[in-house]
Amino acid sequence: MHWLELDLFNQKTKKINQFSGFLLFGLTLTLLTVGIVALFSVSGKFILGKENLVSSLMFRQLLWISMGLILCFVFSFIDYHRLIDNSFLLLSCGFFLLLLCFVPGIGHKVHGSSRWISLGGLNFEPSEFSKIFLSLFLAHIIAKKKQGVFLYASPNLVAFVVVSLFICLLMISGDLGSAFLYLLLYVLYLYLDGYPLKFILPTLGSGIFVVLAVGLIMPERRSRLMAFFNMDQDIQGKSYQLWQSLIALGSGGMTGLGLGNSRQKMFYLPESTTDFIFPIIGEELGLVATLLIVGLYLAFVLTAGWISLFAPDKEGLMVGTALTSLIGMQTLFNLGVVTGLLPNKGFPLPFISYGGSNLLFCLISVGILLNIHRQRSFEFRIYVEQKGAQRSINL
């Protein structure tokens, strides 16, 4: 490349890098706005009930959003290196909170899963926050190659044992979806650390086999899997929610029935304010709006990925990529479930679904990404593992 062309490329790259943080925050606010509008429309069904819960739902969601934006602002100014250095303490707190889910009077079981903690009338899901803690911890021991973290054990062995403990605890609680996400997070770190695919793919396959085997043992999870593979045979049972979701998406057509005119939200589609809010959006606003929302998520992931690639060090690259991937995978899983491409599992739609735990996780992740952006490097770094030798390409 000619030196003049290279200089122009560097100038354009610096401009994009400079405004990527503003773009990420703008996309976050846009998705939050979409969520508020969708929730207001969906919650209108409660007007026909004995209790008017519209104001209550909106107030709670706005409260969670306000809290999340404050945390996003705070974490954007906390050096992510400090979080990584204290990741073991954070991870220990996360593990303790997961154990509290099994304590009577504190733990709260929903749909057969003991993954909620109820305190003071508020329910939150510890596994959402543990995803951040685990991402920081894996970066701490893998990126820095911390030898002797525990009794001089290798960092990769420590990572495997810690991730396995969390996955086992989540499977015992019945939260197979989060267990699968933790597995994917571990595999992602192996890939970023330069492990060959011949090692990564068997690890991923073994983990998926274990999660599926546990799912088949649990009656509730087994019935969901069987309903997914035999949708036509249990329309009024386990497949009811998925059929109503497809009816909602199909009824919307290209332009939708109009904001507030959804029929499926009138107690036909369960969980229409949380995990299945996307079909209601499709019914009211149509295919065009749903594609625009998918485009917003794609832009969010690409922008966050760009920020991660310009991280000043390998720890920032790993943490940024992990948090971006977690939000992207959760979005993909939610869209896969509501369109019938994946078995039904409680994955909320990031930034849009009603609820506080996942919303706080997403906004804290955005804050950490913004902090990585504040410390950005102006060199574009790609780390490539080839024949056992790591090389870096700087553009």
CA gyration radius for the chain? 22
Helix, strand, coil % in the chain, rounded to nearest 5: 70, 5, 25
Tokens 């894996």 belong to: 138
Question: What is the Cα–Cα distance from 370 to 36, expressed in whole angstroms?
Answer: 23
CA distance 390 to 395: 17
Fill in the DSSP letter of residue 349. Answer: P
Give the bridge partners for 381, in sequence order: 394
Residue ranges covered by each domain of the chain:
3-394
pLDDT in tens, the chain (395 residues): 444 443 444 555 666 677 888 999 999 999 999 999 998 888 765 544 544 555 677 888 899 999 999 999 999 999 999 999 999 999 999 999 888 888 877 777 766 667 778 776 677 888 899 999 999 999 988 876 654 445 455 777 888 889 999 999 988 888 888 899 999 999 999 888 888 888 889 889 998 888 888 887 877 777 777 777 777 776 776 778 888 888 888 888 888 898 888 888 887 888 888 888 999 999 999 999 999 999 999 999 999 999 998 888 888 999 999 999 999 999 999 999 988 888 877 789 999 998 888 999 999 999 999 999 988 765 555 444 443 334 343 33
Query: How far apart are the two ends of the chain, measured CA to CA in Å?
Result: 11
In degrees, rounded to 5, the angle at the alpha carbon of residue 335 between the alpha carbons of residues 240 and 133 is: 115
For residue 275, give the 3-state DSSP assignment: coil
What's the chain's length in residues? 395
Cut 0.85: pTM above it: yes
- Could you tell me the CA-to-CA distances from 13 to 16, 22, 275, 310, 317 in Å, in that order? 5, 15, 38, 10, 17
Quick one: DSSP state of residue 78?
S
